[in-house]
Structure 1
Amino acid sequence: MLNRNAHSLRFLFSWIFLGVCFLLSFPIYSKEEGVKLEWRQIPDAGGYVVEIKDSRGKITREKTNGTQIQLELPPGTYEHRIGVLNRYGRVSVFSTWIPFEVILSQKPEILSAEKNKFLNKDLPDTFEIKGKHFTDATKVVLKDSKGNEVSIKSIEVKNSETILVTVDRKKPPEGAVSVRVENPRNKVAEKENYLFVAETESELAALESKEQKKQTSSAPFRFDYGAVARSAIVPGWGQYYQNKSNFRTFLFPALLLGAGAYVASEGNSYLNASHALSAARQNNVMYNYAFIHSGNPTFFTLAFYNYSQIAPKYSTAVADYNQLEIGIGVVGLFYILNLMDAGFFAGNKEVQVEGTQAPVTVSPLIRNLRDSNQSNAYSLGNSTGLFQRTEIGVQFAW
């Protein structure tokens, strides 16, 4: 009798300890594999029953022998309690109902600040961070240009799209300030150069110029798939989409039209030469057949003459075929160059040049010039021809 009472007291004490662990409500963050509830093990427990009650009062039950359970719950507010099973599989005791909240943790987004340049004296104590998918559990970290974390006094999530951040005015940020927003389950968004803070206007302008130059120099190469797709359908369309010069826009269509016309001409010549060769061979067979059956020497003369024409006609057909192959290769080369120009060589870009305040527009330049200072006299006659000079470079425009 004494042992049984001691066992019951030990079991009751363990369950009271479990209930204390769940007195406070807490949020649970939902992700792809669902929601996990976990509790401490109760000695001599034969299993557990977990009851989940949603906001409408509907209760679902799950039995388990372990100390955790995985549930599929949509975001919302719930209550749960855990019952301990005895050796006969019956519930000996239930915990109290404990509220909890399921929150869907999504990757946050950060929008650019409406005003991001401040003098130290004008920096507000509290500023807004605009974005998406902010929750009460969202964390905010600010860092200055040296990588030091900025002291934050308070963070208030106004709604899912606005966070109010109050900084410590005794330790204001300096330089280019970056912001990092983190939701539970390691959902993170970062934005560099979110704020620029400096003592004077000149320092502020220099800081912004330095960061723009750094971004431009470290910008990764991007293959322009959209322009390539357009130029693959209509040569020159991708160049027009990239706002390139008229010369680059119409260059490849003109080259392809010219090469296509040449291919059409050589294709027609090859067909005519092939037909002429085929006709000569057929005539040769016909004249030889007529001479053998009639014995007329005229057919022999015609057959001999016709045979002598087969070789040059064959050479002509081969030459036309070779020219046709070259023309097709030129068309393919121009088409590939058209795609490469659209994909690898973008249009005008804005860069920051040291010593200037405004961005500089950089555009490729290809032009053909005549050099009037040099001339070439032909060996026949007194006519002269001017040298042509092609210049390839980069054009800067302020």
Structure 2
Amino acid sequence: MKLNIKHFIIIFWFVSFSVGAQEGTKLIAWKPIPEANGYQIQIKEKTGKVVIDKKIDTPFHSIEELPSGVYLVRTAPLNLFKKPAVWSAWKDLEVIISEPPKVVIEDQKPIILPKSDSKEEKTISNITIEGEHFLDATKVDLTKKEESLPILSKEVKSPERIDLKVDTTDAKTGPYDLTVTNPYQKPKVVTNFVKVEDPKHNSGTDPNDESKSSLSLTTKDNSGIKKTKVSVPKGKPFRDFTYEEMLAFLESDVAINCKNTKVPALTLSECHKTYVILNFSSEDNLSVFEFYKLISENESDRTSAYLYFSKNCSPKFRPAFERMELQWKNRINLDPDERQSLLQELTKFRSCSR
């Protein structure tokens, strides 16, 4: 077996922790290498005396026996014959402490992970775990009984945050427990941390309740006030929606796992505690987001949306055009500067042809 040396990138922690901590275990850890048949670690004092020279199975090793101080360390992945394939360069080392991990839970409700309604299309979900004492060597699992969710990637952003990409394409529906484990420490288990749902449920609506996928509008004609229900059309391009249909869509397109924003779920890529990352991978996503700005209570958002739709008007985005016409009819309620901007961009919008 040949070990692919291009994967051999070793990263050490150089952070000092209190050596006298009661709960921690001193260890050194590095990025695991998939092809490795174990590792060899060597640690020497600054004088050159080797104090540890061992072959091990894990990408971390306890250095509990070492007194506090600065050392030099290097590691090598082992090949099929348990021989070092290539050594890393010698690096300065200070001990770290593996402490019991903690997970912050703000809401007792599980994070909803959707399944695709097509077996040909993979369903990948992003999950952020927030807490304390996370390391690159921290192990993360999402399980229920004998089932586990495939974790495609795990990225330790900081000691307080881990980002996961999870594949739920073939997952069984239901709740899954989160288990976070640091080396030599007791696992931290959070029951019902996530829940996998079928496509018919993952919009966050009751399948028997049409109110979430429709919008009741109050209108007034010569006979008096009446209510009409507008539903979200299926298979219709967003640009051909009516203004009312787009409102109904935004009413239903709620980001269930991102309660700190009202941005449409369609336009979200990642949701975090204090910020979100938007997804403008398609023109539809961007146009829906600009429509969201168009109906905003913020004047600068609306003005920016006027400009966007007047410039990107071929083909016309019908719901935006109808909204801007409605705004112009009710222009008496607008600030003079916004009225001027609306008139200027609406005039361009009107003359734009498909």
Q: TM-score range by the shorter chain?
A: 0.3 to 0.5
Tell which structure's C-alpha radius of gyration is larger: 1
Larger helix percent: 1
